[in-house]
Structures are given as structure tokens and as C-alpha cells.
Structure 1
Amino acid sequence: MTEAELLAQPANAYMNAEQQAFFRDLLLRQREALQARIADEFDALREQEPSSDPADIGCAEERCHWQLRVLEREKKLLDKIDAALDAIARGEYGWCAETGEPIGLPRLLLRPTTTLSIEAKERQEQREKHQRNA
């Protein structure tokens, strides 16, 4: 199924077996690509050669810290992908964790790991903003 075919389905077909299979495949492809990037980053970290020049050492350490931050972010995304795949297996994928309402196909296409509808996400951001300002 293509994105166009997915979006052309009627509203009452929301999260039917075909749509769940589409998102499962999408998430699995994203997971595979992410795992390859993580492996490449680890390989780059392992291949760094030590240097005796203090300037080179400082640059290497900064590059190492940057790569570790990237790996941490990608690990968090991998966890979100796994959680989304689990939600598909449980039949809970595509439904807002806060309201129980449909998240919507366009939003899921843009961010397949989301657990909140746009409205719920906006409310969450407002609460966070309010807490920061308090």
C-alpha cells in the first residue's frame, strides 16, 4: 500500500489490518536504517586513532562527545520505534494515549512514533511552558 492509497481509505477504515501492516512495515524500515546508522557511529568511534598533539586530542574528544550525543538520541528514537511496534502488536497503535481518539493518518505519516494527537500534544506543550514559567 502506498501513502496515497492509505490516505484515500475511508475514515471508518482507520487502523484496519492493512493500515497497521503499512505502519508496521514503515517502522521496521526506519528501525533497520536507524540500527545501521548506530552501527556506523560505533564503528567511527572505534576507528578513532589516538594522537599526541594536545589540539588533536581536544578535537577528537569533542568529536567523540558529539558522536555519543547522536547515539543517545538515536537510541531514544529506537526505543520509541520499538514502543510503536509493541502498540501495533497490542492493537493500540494510532490512538491518542491521552484521549483515546484517533491520532490521524497524516500525523502518523509525519511522525510514526507519536502517541498523542495534535490537540493533546499542544496541551502537553502548554503545560510544559507554564511549568517552565512558574
Structure 2
Amino acid sequence: MAETKIRPYSFEPYQPKEGEEYMSPEQLEHFRKILIDWKTELMKEVDRTLHHMQDDAANFPDPTDRATQESEFSLELRTRDRERKLIKKIDEALERIETGDYGYCETCGVEIGLRRLEARPTATQCIDCKTLDELREKQQGG
């Protein structure tokens, strides 16, 4: 079973030109390509899983074999569910590129930063706001 890719596969880190404005058309195109390539890879994984499950869906007479297969299918479906949610986040990031909101923190409005976006192209918060949110979650949850 293939593992979910939690970040896009290979790309060249963007090297801004001297004096280049943040989220220039070239930068936006760089991130659009990363997001589209990542989504394409995830969609291929979803298709592979579907075909794998259809091909392997055997009715085992042995209850242990049947339970093992059901357990494997359940794990694959959970993985695909995470990928489906990730595809939704990718689509939302592509929408933010179109609306001109991509690359800016939805909480405080500052630049998220090229390297953070390359590490997590679906990021919607700067590292400071994200860290504060995580601290609040920990305090409320525990």
C-alpha cells in the first residue's frame, strides 16, 4: 500500500530576484504548479486504491483472511479520506491564488513566507499565528 505524500514531490525552491515583490506573478505561478502537481499525484493514488480494492475484493471463506482484508481496506479508506481532505485544502489554496489572498496570513495579514509555503503550500497562517493556535488548542484540550 502506498503511503500518503504529506508534501509535494520534487520542485526547485523559488529564488526571488532582487527587489521582486512578494507573491509576484512568477511566485504565484510557482505555487500554482506545486499545488496542481501535488493534486495530480494524490488523484493518481486515489485511483490506484480504487482499482486495488476492486481487484482484491475477494470473498475469503476463511474468517481470518476476510478480517485481515477488511482491516487493510479500512486502513486504505482512512488514508484516502485524509487525501480527500488534503485535495480540498489544495483546491482552497488554488482559489486563494486566484483571489489574490494566497501567501498572506488569514489571521493577521502578514506574509506567510516563501519557504513556509514551499514546506506547506496549503498554509493559511504565518508561523506565529499557527503556533499561537496550537498553544490554545493544547490549553483547551488538556
TM score, norm. by length of structure 2? 0.87
Are 2:72 and 1:63 equivalent residues in the alignment? yes
Equivalent residue, structure 2, for 1:20 = 28
- 1:1-134 counterparts in 2 under 5 A? 2-3=12-13, 6-10=14-18, 13-48=21-56, 49-133=58-142
CA contact (8 A) 1:95 1:102 kept: yes
Q: Which amino acid aligns with 1:96?
A: C
Identity %: 34
Structure 1 outlier segments of 4+, above 6 Å: none
Partners of 1:102 and 1:70 lie apart in 2 by: 32
Equivalent residue, structure 1, for 2:5 = none
SS at 2:138 equivalent? helix
Which runs of no fewer than 5 residues in structure 1 stay unpaired?
A: none
Query: 1:81–1:26: structure 2 CA closer, same or farther, 3 Å change rule?
Result: same
SS at 2:64 equivalent? helix
Tell me how many residue pairs correspond in the alignment: 131
Which runs of no fewer than 5 residues in structure 2 stay unpaired?
A: 1-10
CA contact (8 A) 1:7 1:105 kept: no
Distance apart, 1:23 and its partner CA? 0.4
How far does the alpha carbon of each residue in 1:87-129 deviate from its partner, in whole angstroms, 9 at most, with x for none?
0000110000101000000000000011011101100000100
SS at 2:26 equivalent? helix
Query: 1:116–1:11: structure 2 CA closer, same or farther, 3 Å change rule?
Result: farther
CA contact (8 A) 1:7 1:106 kept: no
